[in-house]
Amino acid sequence: MDSRQALREISVEGCPCIGKGRNGAVYQLDRETIVKLYPADSLGWQNVRQEKKNAKAAFILGVPTALSFSVVRAGERIGIVFELVEARSLREVVAQQPERMDALIVKSAELLQDMHRIEVPPGTFPDMANVYRERITGLDDLLTHDEIRLLHRMVDSIPERNTYVHGDFHRGNLMVQGDELVVIDMADSAAGHPLYDVLGVYMLGKNLADTMPPETVKQVIGWEPDMVRRVWGLFMRTYFRTQDPGELEEIEAMMEAYCWLRQMTFLKIVPAFTDEIRRQMVRSARAQFFPKAEQHMARFAGRMARM
Protein backbone atom coordinates (compact mmCIF):
# COMPACT_ATOMS: atom_id res chain seq x y z
CA MET A 1 0.00 0.00 0.00
CA ASP A 2 1.48 3.37 -1.04
CA SER A 3 0.47 6.70 0.52
CA ARG A 4 0.36 8.16 -3.01
CA GLN A 5 -2.10 5.54 -4.14
CA ALA A 6 -5.50 6.92 -5.18
CA LEU A 7 -8.09 6.07 -2.58
CA ARG A 8 -11.83 6.43 -2.51
CA GLU A 9 -12.72 9.68 -0.77
CA ILE A 10 -15.40 9.60 1.92
CA SER A 11 -16.76 12.14 4.38
CA VAL A 12 -17.52 11.56 8.05
CA GLU A 13 -19.24 14.91 8.44
CA GLY A 14 -22.42 14.32 10.40
CA CYS A 15 -21.43 10.70 11.16
CA PRO A 16 -21.50 9.75 14.84
CA CYS A 17 -18.15 8.96 16.41
CA ILE A 18 -18.78 5.65 18.15
CA GLY A 19 -15.33 4.98 19.55
CA LYS A 20 -11.85 6.36 20.17
CA GLY A 21 -8.69 4.57 21.15
CA ARG A 22 -4.92 4.56 21.01
CA ASN A 23 -4.95 3.69 17.30
CA GLY A 24 -7.69 5.91 15.89
CA ALA A 25 -11.32 7.01 15.89
CA VAL A 26 -14.33 5.06 14.63
CA TYR A 27 -17.33 6.58 12.83
CA GLN A 28 -20.57 4.94 11.75
CA LEU A 29 -21.08 5.59 8.04
CA ASP A 30 -24.48 3.93 7.57
CA ARG A 31 -26.56 0.99 8.75
CA GLU A 32 -24.01 -1.54 7.49
CA THR A 33 -20.54 -0.01 7.73
CA ILE A 34 -18.14 1.88 9.97
CA VAL A 35 -14.76 3.44 9.28
CA LYS A 36 -11.71 3.49 11.54
CA LEU A 37 -9.57 6.53 10.79
CA TYR A 38 -5.88 7.16 11.43
CA PRO A 39 -3.72 10.23 10.77
CA ALA A 40 -2.45 10.34 7.16
CA ASP A 41 1.21 10.21 8.22
CA SER A 42 3.78 7.44 7.94
CA LEU A 43 2.69 5.86 11.24
CA GLY A 44 -0.95 6.05 10.17
CA TRP A 45 -0.20 4.25 6.92
CA GLN A 46 1.77 1.63 8.80
CA ASN A 47 -1.14 1.07 11.19
CA VAL A 48 -3.69 0.85 8.38
CA ARG A 49 -1.57 -1.62 6.44
CA GLN A 50 -1.05 -3.82 9.49
CA GLU A 51 -4.63 -3.72 10.78
CA LYS A 52 -6.12 -4.46 7.35
CA LYS A 53 -3.80 -7.46 7.00
CA ASN A 54 -4.50 -8.61 10.58
CA ALA A 55 -8.28 -8.28 10.31
CA LYS A 56 -8.45 -10.34 7.13
CA ALA A 57 -6.09 -13.04 8.46
CA ALA A 58 -7.89 -13.29 11.81
CA PHE A 59 -11.27 -13.66 10.12
CA ILE A 60 -9.93 -16.43 7.86
CA LEU A 61 -8.45 -18.25 10.87
CA GLY A 62 -11.86 -18.28 12.57
CA VAL A 63 -11.60 -15.40 15.03
CA PRO A 64 -15.15 -14.03 15.52
CA THR A 65 -14.56 -10.51 14.22
CA ALA A 66 -15.92 -7.99 11.73
CA LEU A 67 -15.28 -8.20 7.98
CA SER A 68 -12.89 -5.58 6.64
CA PHE A 69 -13.55 -3.90 3.29
CA SER A 70 -11.69 -1.07 1.56
CA VAL A 71 -9.01 1.43 2.55
CA VAL A 72 -10.31 5.01 2.16
CA ARG A 73 -9.37 8.62 2.71
CA ALA A 74 -11.40 11.17 4.70
CA GLY A 75 -9.77 14.58 4.28
CA GLU A 76 -6.33 14.37 5.89
CA ARG A 77 -7.00 10.96 7.43
CA ILE A 78 -6.93 7.43 6.07
CA GLY A 79 -8.84 4.45 7.32
CA ILE A 80 -10.43 1.06 6.89
CA VAL A 81 -14.10 0.42 6.26
CA PHE A 82 -15.53 -2.49 8.29
CA GLU A 83 -18.93 -4.12 8.46
CA LEU A 84 -21.04 -2.72 11.28
CA VAL A 85 -21.48 -5.40 13.92
CA GLU A 86 -25.00 -5.18 15.29
CA ALA A 87 -23.86 -5.35 18.87
CA ARG A 88 -22.94 -3.32 21.94
CA SER A 89 -19.68 -3.39 23.84
CA LEU A 90 -19.45 -5.64 26.86
CA ARG A 91 -18.70 -2.52 28.90
CA GLU A 92 -21.99 -0.92 27.78
CA VAL A 93 -24.09 -4.05 28.25
CA VAL A 94 -22.81 -4.65 31.79
CA ALA A 95 -23.49 -1.01 32.69
CA GLN A 96 -27.11 -1.36 31.55
CA GLN A 97 -27.71 -4.99 32.55
CA PRO A 98 -25.47 -5.77 35.54
CA GLU A 99 -27.25 -9.08 36.11
CA ARG A 100 -25.52 -10.38 32.93
CA MET A 101 -22.02 -9.58 34.17
CA ASP A 102 -20.97 -12.99 35.48
CA ALA A 103 -22.20 -14.89 32.42
CA LEU A 104 -20.47 -12.45 30.05
CA ILE A 105 -17.18 -12.57 31.96
CA VAL A 106 -17.25 -16.37 31.78
CA LYS A 107 -17.97 -16.14 28.04
CA SER A 108 -15.08 -13.72 27.55
CA ALA A 109 -12.67 -16.13 29.26
CA GLU A 110 -13.99 -19.02 27.17
CA LEU A 111 -13.63 -16.93 24.00
CA LEU A 112 -10.02 -16.18 24.84
CA GLN A 113 -9.41 -19.89 25.43
CA ASP A 114 -10.87 -20.64 21.99
CA MET A 115 -8.74 -17.97 20.33
CA HIS A 116 -5.64 -19.36 22.02
CA ARG A 117 -6.32 -22.75 20.42
CA ILE A 118 -5.77 -21.21 16.98
CA GLU A 119 -2.39 -22.03 15.48
CA VAL A 120 -0.98 -19.26 13.31
CA PRO A 121 0.89 -20.12 10.09
CA PRO A 122 4.38 -18.55 10.01
CA GLY A 123 4.41 -14.98 8.71
CA THR A 124 0.68 -14.39 9.18
CA PHE A 125 1.05 -11.90 12.06
CA PRO A 126 3.92 -10.10 13.78
CA ASP A 127 5.62 -12.04 16.57
CA MET A 128 4.49 -10.54 19.88
CA ALA A 129 7.84 -11.22 21.50
CA ASN A 130 9.53 -9.14 18.79
CA VAL A 131 6.97 -6.37 19.28
CA TYR A 132 7.92 -6.27 22.97
CA ARG A 133 11.64 -6.36 22.14
CA GLU A 134 11.32 -3.38 19.79
CA ARG A 135 9.44 -1.36 22.40
CA ILE A 136 12.01 -2.22 25.06
CA THR A 137 14.91 -1.17 22.83
CA GLY A 138 13.21 2.22 22.43
CA LEU A 139 13.36 2.86 26.19
CA ASP A 140 17.09 3.69 26.17
CA ASP A 141 16.39 7.27 27.29
CA LEU A 142 14.47 6.05 30.36
CA LEU A 143 16.27 2.90 31.44
CA THR A 144 19.86 1.82 31.93
CA HIS A 145 21.56 -0.67 29.64
CA ASP A 146 21.34 -3.34 32.35
CA GLU A 147 17.61 -2.69 32.86
CA ILE A 148 16.92 -2.97 29.14
CA ARG A 149 18.94 -6.18 28.98
CA LEU A 150 16.94 -7.55 31.93
CA LEU A 151 13.64 -6.78 30.19
CA HIS A 152 14.87 -8.56 27.06
CA ARG A 153 15.73 -11.60 29.17
CA MET A 154 12.26 -11.50 30.67
CA VAL A 155 10.72 -11.58 27.16
CA ASP A 156 13.03 -14.48 26.35
CA SER A 157 11.72 -16.30 29.44
CA ILE A 158 8.22 -16.44 27.91
CA PRO A 159 8.02 -19.63 25.79
CA GLU A 160 7.72 -19.17 22.04
CA ARG A 161 4.36 -20.18 20.59
CA ASN A 162 2.54 -19.89 17.28
CA THR A 163 -0.72 -19.15 19.12
CA TYR A 164 -3.05 -16.38 17.95
CA VAL A 165 -3.07 -13.47 20.43
CA HIS A 166 -5.36 -10.47 20.06
CA GLY A 167 -2.99 -8.05 21.79
CA ASP A 168 -5.65 -5.73 23.23
CA PHE A 169 -8.29 -8.01 24.73
CA HIS A 170 -10.55 -5.99 27.04
CA ARG A 171 -14.24 -5.26 27.57
CA GLY A 172 -14.15 -2.25 25.22
CA ASN A 173 -13.06 -4.50 22.35
CA LEU A 174 -15.63 -7.19 23.10
CA MET A 175 -19.02 -6.77 21.47
CA VAL A 176 -22.13 -8.56 22.72
CA GLN A 177 -24.26 -9.94 19.88
CA GLY A 178 -27.23 -11.70 21.42
CA ASP A 179 -25.65 -14.30 23.68
CA GLU A 180 -22.34 -14.41 21.80
CA LEU A 181 -19.22 -12.26 21.80
CA VAL A 182 -17.41 -10.71 18.85
CA VAL A 183 -13.93 -9.22 19.16
CA ILE A 184 -12.92 -6.00 17.38
CA ASP A 185 -9.77 -3.88 16.91
CA MET A 186 -7.29 -6.26 15.36
CA ALA A 187 -4.44 -3.74 15.13
CA ASP A 188 -2.29 -5.52 17.73
CA SER A 189 -3.02 -9.09 16.65
CA ALA A 190 0.09 -11.26 16.74
CA ALA A 191 1.48 -14.73 17.20
CA GLY A 192 2.86 -15.58 20.60
CA HIS A 193 2.31 -17.04 24.04
CA PRO A 194 -1.20 -16.74 25.56
CA LEU A 195 0.33 -14.94 28.55
CA TYR A 196 0.51 -11.73 26.52
CA ASP A 197 -3.30 -11.56 26.24
CA VAL A 198 -4.04 -12.58 29.82
CA LEU A 199 -1.58 -9.93 31.04
CA GLY A 200 -3.65 -7.34 29.19
CA VAL A 201 -6.80 -8.42 31.01
CA TYR A 202 -4.96 -8.29 34.33
CA MET A 203 -3.29 -4.92 33.68
CA LEU A 204 -6.53 -3.19 32.66
CA GLY A 205 -8.42 -4.80 35.55
CA LYS A 206 -7.06 -5.92 38.87
CA ASN A 207 -3.73 -4.14 38.47
CA LEU A 208 -5.55 -0.83 38.04
CA ALA A 209 -7.77 -1.60 41.01
CA ASP A 210 -4.74 -2.32 43.19
CA THR A 211 -2.57 0.63 42.13
CA MET A 212 -4.92 3.53 41.36
CA PRO A 213 -7.13 5.65 43.68
CA PRO A 214 -10.70 4.28 43.87
CA GLU A 215 -12.12 7.34 42.10
CA THR A 216 -9.70 6.86 39.20
CA VAL A 217 -10.63 3.18 38.93
CA LYS A 218 -14.33 4.08 38.79
CA GLN A 219 -13.65 6.74 36.15
CA VAL A 220 -11.49 4.54 33.90
CA ILE A 221 -13.25 1.20 34.26
CA GLY A 222 -16.72 2.20 35.41
CA TRP A 223 -16.72 -0.20 38.36
CA GLU A 224 -15.72 0.04 41.99
CA PRO A 225 -12.31 -1.55 42.78
CA ASP A 226 -13.87 -4.49 44.66
CA MET A 227 -16.03 -5.27 41.63
CA VAL A 228 -12.98 -5.16 39.35
CA ARG A 229 -11.18 -7.63 41.62
CA ARG A 230 -14.20 -9.94 41.68
CA VAL A 231 -14.45 -9.88 37.89
CA TRP A 232 -10.75 -10.69 37.54
CA GLY A 233 -11.16 -13.59 39.97
CA LEU A 234 -14.03 -15.03 37.93
CA PHE A 235 -12.11 -14.57 34.67
CA MET A 236 -8.98 -16.18 36.12
CA ARG A 237 -10.82 -19.21 37.52
CA THR A 238 -12.59 -19.74 34.19
CA TYR A 239 -9.61 -19.23 31.89
CA PHE A 240 -7.19 -21.34 33.95
CA ARG A 241 -9.89 -23.89 34.85
CA THR A 242 -9.07 -24.13 38.51
CA GLN A 243 -10.67 -23.39 41.84
CA ASP A 244 -7.61 -24.41 43.84
CA PRO A 245 -6.59 -21.52 46.14
CA GLY A 246 -2.90 -22.37 45.94
CA GLU A 247 -2.96 -22.50 42.14
CA LEU A 248 -4.86 -19.24 41.93
CA GLU A 249 -2.40 -17.56 44.27
CA GLU A 250 0.53 -18.64 42.09
CA ILE A 251 -1.23 -17.53 38.89
CA GLU A 252 -1.95 -14.14 40.41
CA ALA A 253 1.67 -13.79 41.52
CA MET A 254 2.82 -14.56 37.97
CA MET A 255 0.45 -11.96 36.55
CA GLU A 256 1.67 -9.33 39.00
CA ALA A 257 5.31 -10.05 38.19
CA TYR A 258 4.99 -10.07 34.39
CA CYS A 259 2.56 -7.15 34.38
CA TRP A 260 5.59 -4.96 35.07
CA LEU A 261 7.08 -6.12 31.78
CA ARG A 262 3.90 -5.20 29.90
CA GLN A 263 3.73 -1.81 31.62
CA MET A 264 7.32 -1.01 30.63
CA THR A 265 6.56 -1.80 26.98
CA PHE A 266 3.62 0.63 27.06
CA LEU A 267 5.61 3.62 28.38
CA LYS A 268 6.14 5.16 24.94
CA ILE A 269 2.93 4.18 23.16
CA VAL A 270 0.21 5.54 25.47
CA PRO A 271 -0.42 9.21 24.57
CA ALA A 272 -1.76 9.97 28.07
CA PHE A 273 1.61 9.09 29.64
CA THR A 274 3.43 12.35 30.34
CA ASP A 275 7.18 12.46 30.94
CA GLU A 276 6.53 12.70 34.67
CA ILE A 277 4.24 9.65 34.62
CA ARG A 278 6.92 7.70 32.74
CA ARG A 279 9.60 8.71 35.22
CA GLN A 280 7.35 7.76 38.14
CA MET A 281 6.66 4.35 36.62
CA VAL A 282 10.37 3.79 36.13
CA ARG A 283 11.06 4.74 39.75
CA SER A 284 8.41 2.29 40.91
CA ALA A 285 9.84 -0.45 38.71
CA ARG A 286 13.31 0.11 40.14
CA ALA A 287 11.98 -0.20 43.65
CA GLN A 288 9.51 -3.06 43.21
CA PHE A 289 10.29 -4.99 40.03
CA PHE A 290 13.85 -5.00 38.74
CA PRO A 291 15.44 -6.34 41.97
CA LYS A 292 13.15 -9.41 41.84
CA ALA A 293 12.96 -10.00 38.07
CA GLU A 294 15.45 -12.87 37.98
CA GLN A 295 13.63 -14.56 40.85
CA HIS A 296 10.31 -14.20 39.02
CA MET A 297 11.69 -15.75 35.83
CA ALA A 298 12.92 -18.81 37.70
CA ARG A 299 9.76 -19.15 39.78
CA PHE A 300 7.25 -19.06 36.93
CA ALA A 301 9.11 -20.80 34.08
CA GLY A 302 7.30 -24.11 34.58
CA ARG A 303 3.89 -22.52 34.93
CA MET A 304 4.27 -20.55 31.68
CA ALA A 305 5.44 -23.68 29.87
CA ARG A 306 2.20 -25.41 30.90
CA MET A 307 -0.09 -22.61 29.66
Percent of the chain with pLDDT over 90: 73
* pLDDT at position 45: 82
Please report which confidence band the pLDDT of residue 219 belongs to, taking 50, 70 and 90 as the band edges. confident
22, with CB counted inside 10 A (0-12, 13-18, 19+), is middle
Quick: pLDDT tens for 260-276. Answer: 999 999 999 888 889 99
Quick: pLDDT tens for 33-43. Answer: 999 998 877 66
- Whole-model pTM? 0.91
8 Å CB contact between 33 and 81: yes
* pLDDT at position 4: 45
Please report which confidence band the pLDDT of residue 46 belongs to, taking 50, 70 and 90 as the band edges. confident
DSSP-H helix ranges across 182-274: 195-203, 206-211, 214-221, 225-240, 245-265
* pLDDT at position 23: 65
Q: 39 forms bridges with which residues in the sheet? A: 77
- Residue 168 phi, psi dihedral angles, 5° rounding: -150, 55
* pLDDT at position 300: 97
Please report which confidence band the pLDDT of residue 5 belongs to, taking 50, 70 and 90 as the band edges. low
8 Å CB contact between 24 and 71: no
